[in-house]
C-alpha cells in the first residue's frame, strides 16, 4: 500500500473542510481503515455524513454500512436502510445490492422476496457480480420470482466471468450443478442470453 504522507493528508483535509464531497468521502475512508490517520469510526462517520448530506451516493452507502455494523454510531438497521435507499435511488449498484440483502433478511425493512429480487436485478443489470449470483440463486429456487433454470444459468455464467478466486470457483460450481438438470437446448439458450446480455452491457475499460 502506498504510504500516505502528511502534506497529502493536510491537503485532503483542507478540501474536505471546504465542502468538497469527494474529499470528505476519502477522508472518511482513511479514518475508517486507519490509513494515514489513527483509526476513528466516529470521525469516519462525521465525514461520510457531511458528504452524504450533499447527496454523494458512495458516502450514503458507507454511512449505511456504519449503521449496519454499529461503527461510530449505534447499530440501527432502519437508518442503514434509509441511507442505502437514498443511494440506490441514484442508481448506486452497491446500495441496490445492500437493499436486496435487507429485504432477504428483513433487517430494517419487512422481509420481502419480490423486493429483494427487484433490488438484486437493478444491481445485476449494472454488472455487479454479487447481485448476479444472488439473482441466479433466486431464479434457481423460485424465491420471489418464478423458477427459471435458464435465467439462473445465465446469471451464474455472467457472475463467473466477473469474479476471481474462490468466488468464481463457487459460482462455476453452482452453474454446473444447475446445468446437470437442464436439457442441452436450455443450456444453449442460457449461453445465448448471457452473450446477448454481455453485448448489451459493455464493460468499462
Domain boundaries, the chain: 1-90, 93-205
In 106-183, which residue ranges form alpha helices assigned H by DSSP?
113-124, 129-141, 149-160, 165-179
pLDDT digits (tens, 9 = 90+) for 144-201: 999 999 999 999 999 999 999 999 999 999 999 999 999 999 999 999 999 999 999 9
For domain 93-205, the CATH superfamily is: Tetratricopeptide repeat domain (1.25.40.10)
The yes-or-no verdict on residue 131 having pLDDT over 80 is yes
Residue 130 has pLDDT above 70, yes or no: yes
In this chain, the answer to whether the domains covering 1-90 and 93-205 adopt an identical fold is yes
Residue 203: its pLDDT value, please?
A: 80
d(CA 166, CA 160): 10
pTM beyond cutoff 0.85 = yes
Instruction: Tell me the HSE value of 9 on the side-chain side, using a 13 A CA sphere.
Output: 13
What is the reported pLDDT for 1? 43
- Considering the segment(s) 1-90 as one domain, its CATH architecture is Alpha Horseshoe (1.25)
Amino acid at each position: 500500500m502506498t504510504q500516505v504522507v502528511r502534506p497529502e493528508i493536510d491537503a485532503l483535509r483542507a478540501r474536505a473542510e471546504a465542502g468538497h464531497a469527494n474529499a470528505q468521502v476519502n477522508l472518511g475512508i482513511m479514518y475508517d481503515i486507519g490509513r494515514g490517520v489513527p483509526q476513528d469510526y466516529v470521525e469516519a462517520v462525521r465525514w461520510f455524513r457531511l458528504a452524504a448530506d450533499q447527496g454523494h451516493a458512495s458516502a450514503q452507502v458507507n454511512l449505511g454500512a456504519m449503521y449496519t455494523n454499529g461503527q461510530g454510531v449505534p447499530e440501527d438497521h432502519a437508518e442503514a436502510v434509509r441511507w442505502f435507499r437514498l443511494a440506490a435511488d441514484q442508481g448506486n449498484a452497491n446500495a441496490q445490492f445492500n437493499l436486496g440483502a435487507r429485504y432477504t433478511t428483513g433487517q430494517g425493512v419487512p422481509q420481502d422476496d419480490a423486493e429483494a429480487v427487484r433490488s438484486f436485478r437493478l444491481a445485476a443489470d449494472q454488472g455487479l457480480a454479487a447481485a448476479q449470483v444472488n439473482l441466479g440463486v433466486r431464479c434457481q429456487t423460485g424465491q420471489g420470482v418464478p423458477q427459471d433454470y435458464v435465467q439462473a444459468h445465465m446469471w451464474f455464467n455472467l457472475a463467473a466471468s466477473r469474479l476471481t478466486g474462490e468466488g468464481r470457483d463457487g459460482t462455476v460450481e453452482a452453474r454446473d450443478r444447475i446445468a446437470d438438470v437442464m436439457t442441452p437446448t436450455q443450456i444453449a439458450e442460457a449461453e445465448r442470453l448471457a452473450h446477448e446480455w454481455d453485448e448489451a452491457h459493455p464493460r468499462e475499460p
